[in-house]
Chain A
């Protein structure tokens, strides 16, 4: 039987809005998952490295700074190089529908808006993560 789902939640760039990411971290922990929070102001390279070191099944990145269209391509590229691109990749925050479509096209598995109910997020991860 597989162990608990391991999730990395993180913030990339200079954006300091951490209310959402911390609420999500807590909800996933309360749902029985193992949660690693990167803390604020990380670079894509740091997040890719932590994802490998922590051997996570899911990576969730929260962005409210509007910098998602520059940050995600870089992160996806680094995850590929590090061999961590099999993890489920999720985005959350203030992301317009057209940007969300573009993110999915480049390899993000799902984009969650700011008003997403927590049970919806938990269910999605349970249904789609593949713990080793």
Chain B
């Protein structure tokens, strides 16, 4: 390695220096989006572990599977959700008709936070940023005419995820689809809610217990279901750096695994169904390296910390979404290009599933047209670009390998720090994660204001006069809330109220002990209890989470 170092010094002195004398570089230092220094050129001396192994084998740096996209392209999974269940069903069918290969459902804020549409806290938000699902018949309507025995279904749902999982299982049961055929994901990653996305219901401990129950229930009953999608996306959107994104995600995964292991299950029994979710941000090289780093780190953590023996327990599989926060309201057509570059990083980094954000998302929830362009972006990558023909195409690039190793080092430092402060729960309670994210977000904004971070159309290449929005935006139907409330009244009137009460009482009983709450939740859903009723019954057992905000 020293030979490489001296050769580089010679090059710097003999070739670079005279050049710089004639024309200085554009900046004194170059940094990644996360603030790490970028070298002028990378050479073998920057790479400590030049042998990255092979795809589908430990430590899975180069890919979780031996054939990757040559056998099975990533799942094209554009998220959809707005208005009433019927509205969302229309959008899902439209996307499937256009070649989408998996579905993904976005819920409105009341559903996400565990409130029924007729709760006073839901006022003004029913069917807004996602679909309103109060009960199992709503989910039946969302999935009407869609074969859930063959297509995978992802649900972006967190503190109330166990209820939506129960609804999904009852939908399957009532359609005669066996549990073994169900494939898909509940996001359910509660740690990142406390630190970044800020959707919560119960305090930290009962929230972790609910997730533990989903994981262990899934391990026994749902061979193709991912009960949790451990997510760095939201921390990054809230301001975190690339390394913080990976570190906080893996810290959450470690916590979930510890809780499941504490029930007496071996890591190998549940870990194969862990799935992950990262952002694809603007800094292409850093992002490709980040995905690779996350894979190698998780494989090693699974072995070192949990004694994993099955390859399936060690290989990190992830969904990816392009970064919503990079989308700009001015000159919104530029967002198509941002989506394409970020999607390219996701695919070059080996994503299993991808959502490209809509060109209009800085302005509104995405229109049908915006989602079509996003889906076509993915299809162009797969069908036209050649990127899917070879595995880990940037592996072996000195810059990529050096950046991969740099992120791994930084993540290890964070994980040590988290262990030092007493683990993830202690970190949430002391505000460690929240403060780190808040600091990074503030530094990012200051850099933007100072012009060090340049955004085309926003702080450089601005239009003198704002141009008219060059496409039609999605309009929220003003009657959604009223119609949903009328339907909910009808639903409550038609069911067996005494049976619902009985099932809710049994659920409360199950929650009071330390048993698994999934079976009693499924019973309550079958009896047509609403999500909000289930949440309120358990609130009397678990209490409510109150954040101590730091900024």
Show the binding face of A for B, using Cβ within 8 Å: 13-19, 22-23, 25-27, 37, 39-41, 43, 65-67, 70-71, 94, 96-97, 113-115, 117-119
Q: Give Cα A13 to B551, complex, Å.
A: 20
Q: Give Cα A116 to B193, complex, Å.
A: 26
Chain B residues closer than 8 Å to A17, beta-carbon distance: 198
B441, CB-defined interface residue at 8 Å: yes
27 A–B contacts, CB within 8 A, in A order: A13-B109, A13-B125, A14-B109, A16-B197, A17-B198, A19-B238, A19-B239, A23-B445, A25-B551, A27-B445, A39-B547, A39-B549, A65-B109, A65-B128, A66-B128, A66-B129, A66-B364, A71-B124, A94-B362, A94-B364, A114-B329, A115-B328, A115-B459, A117-B448, A118-B445, A118-B446, A119-B449
B261, CB-defined interface residue at 8 Å: no
- Closest chain A residue to B468 by CB distance? A97
Known: A16-B198, A19-B238, A67-B128; 16 extra A-B contacts, CB below 8 A, are A14-B115, A14-B121, A15-B109, A23-B239, A23-B438, A23-B441, A23-B445, A27-B445, A40-B198, A40-B547, A43-B121, A65-B128, A66-B365, A96-B363, A115-B459, A117-B449
Q: Is the CB of A115 within 8 A of B330?
A: yes
- Closest chain B residue to A117 by CB distance? B449
Q: Give Cα A104 to B251, complex, Å.
A: 45
Q: Give Cα A126 to B184, complex, Å.
A: 52
Q: Is the CB of B237 within 8 A of A19?
A: yes
Measured CB to CB, the closest approach of chain A to B328, in angstroms, equals 7
Q: Is the CB of B438 within 8 A of A26?
A: yes
Chain B residues closer than 8 Å to A94, beta-carbon distance: 329, 362-364
Q: Is the CB of B125 within 8 A of A67?
A: yes
Q: Give Cα A19 to B115, complex, Å.
A: 24
Chain A residues closer than 8 Å to B438, beta-carbon distance: 22-23, 26
- Closest chain A residue to B111 by CB distance? A14
Q: Give Cα A27 to B551, complex, Å.
A: 10
Partner of A37, one of B112, B329, B459, B551: B551
- Listed residue (A17, A18, A26, A118) with the most chain B CB atoms within 10 angstroms of its CB: A18
Say what secondary structure dominates the interface of chain B: loop
Chain A residues closer than 8 Å to B458, beta-carbon distance: 115
Partner of B199, one of A16, A37, A66: A16
Q: Give Cα A66 to B198, complex, Å.
A: 17
Measured CB to CB, the closest approach of chain A to B531, in angstroms, equals 14
Contact with A along B146-185 (1 / 0, CB 8 A): 0000000000000000000000000000000000000000
- Listed residue (A14, A39, A40, A70) with the most chain B CB atoms within 10 angstroms of its CB: A14
Chain A residues closer than 8 Å to B11, beta-carbon distance: none
Chain A residues closer than 8 Å to B466, beta-carbon distance: 97
Chain B residues closer than 8 Å to A39, beta-carbon distance: 547, 549
User: Size of chain B's interface in residues, with CB distance under 8 A?
Assistant: 43
Q: Give Cα A40 to B200, complex, Å.
A: 11
Q: Give Cα A71 to B325, complex, Å.
A: 24
Q: Is the CB of A26 within 8 A of B442?
A: yes
Q: Give Cα A23 to B445, complex, Å.
A: 8
Measured CB to CB, the closest approach of chain A to B122, in angstroms, equals 8
Tell me the B70-124 residues at the A interface (CB within 8 Å). 109-110, 112-113, 115, 121-124
Given that A26-B438, A40-B198 are contacting pairs, would A96 and B128 also be in contact in the complex, using a CB cutoff of 8 Å?
no
- Closest chain B residue to A115 by CB distance? B458
